Amino acid sequence: MEQYGGLTPPPTSLAGRDCLTLAEFTSGEIRRILDEAVKLKALRRSRIPFRPLFGKTLAMVFQKPSNRTRVSFEVGMYQLGGHALSLSPQELQIGKRETPSDTGMVLARYIDAIMVRTFDDEELAELAGAADVPVINGLSDLHHPCQALADLLTIQEELGALEGVKVSYVGDGNNVAHSLAIACALTGAQLSIAHPEGHGPDPKIIELAAGLGATPVLTEDPREAVAGARAVYTDVWASMGQEAEAEERKRKFAPYQVNEELMGYATSDAIFLHCLPAHRGEEVTAEVIDGPRSRVFDQAENRMHAQKALLYLLLS
């Protein structure tokens, strides 16, 4: 193995594990992933070669279309010396042409890890249970753990810490909000979620987050949620599969737009986050997302660094 900044990294207890929700990990393990992401990002910028995954292959299964997920995983795997293979819905239909468990067992005979971007969390869990290689959730209806790792990395970089930092999420209580709740609970960040009536996060996931650390504060008042926040986060109002609800959601979510007025309730050094793609003029104004507080493109870049750290630790 090539040296890692002059040192050969020690074995990790994460080797061979799955990443489906982030709740599989301890607080210390999440911090280990973030620490490795920081090191790998620095190595990449210094052009120091580090290819610990030479000869290893990642299967990328896409039941939902992708931009950032595919590019960040494929490039990240390449930079670590491995190879990524993309499988489209036409090539691999989980639960249709073949059962999730059969898909997992077959892929595990060929490759070293599986990343799945899909709809059904139960099918994902079934596939992971059958595969004897690490399975990573690239996005599902309930969870987006890799995005949450990138979020944590960005907040840590920009604000210098996670523990005690108030993070405000404004909008739909979706998979991004769910994973952010788990991530904040594991790292000591204080999360407030503002959502319209009937669009809050899944109570079971809030209960899960509470068991891991601090309980997220839920409110229907975006100003209350943002007051004193050092990071303000939002997402699209209608996710994939919710296109038929888009017009109704625009009406219900309009008071939850992140604009300069709402950002005024946050601290003076607060940053703005968005997992992208963004709809300017809907969930966020152009003035905010393109303004000096925005860190959305650093956040997008950090998807790759966080995922590289995850791949490295799971496959070492």
* Dist CA 173 CA 238 (whole Å): 11
3-state secondary structure of 48: coil
To the query of whether residue 70 is one of the catalytic residues in this protein, the response is: no
Say if strands 166-170 and 231-234 run parallel, antiparallel, or are unpaired: parallel
Angle at 210 between CA 199 and CA 314, to 5 degrees: 95
Residue 72 near residue 138, CB atoms below 8 Å: no
Marked catalytic residue, from 18, 68, 112, 117: 117
Q: What tokens were used for 74?
A: 């494929």
Instruction: Please confirm, yes or no, whether 280 is among the known catalytic residues.
Output: no
Separation CA 266–CA 232 (nearest Å): 8
Q: Considering 63, 79, 141, 144, which one is annotated as catalytic?
A: 144
Contact in structure between 88 and 59 (CB atoms under 8 Å): no
The DSSP symbol for 13 reads T
303 counts as catalytic: yes
As a whole number of angstroms, the distance between CA 252 and CA 249 comes to 5
CA distance 83 to 74: 7
CA angle 53–138–188, rounded 5-degree value: 95
Burial of 225 (0-12, 13-18, 19+ CB in 10 A): buried
Known catalytic residue at 257:
no
State the pairing for strand pair 113-117/135-139. parallel
Instruction: Write down the catalytic residue from 63, 147, 299, 307.
Output: 147
Which one of 275, 293, 299, 307 is the catalytic residue?
Answer: 275
Q: Which of 18, 112, 151, 235 is catalytic?
A: 235
Q: Which residues are catalytic?
A: 117, 144, 147, 235, 275, 303
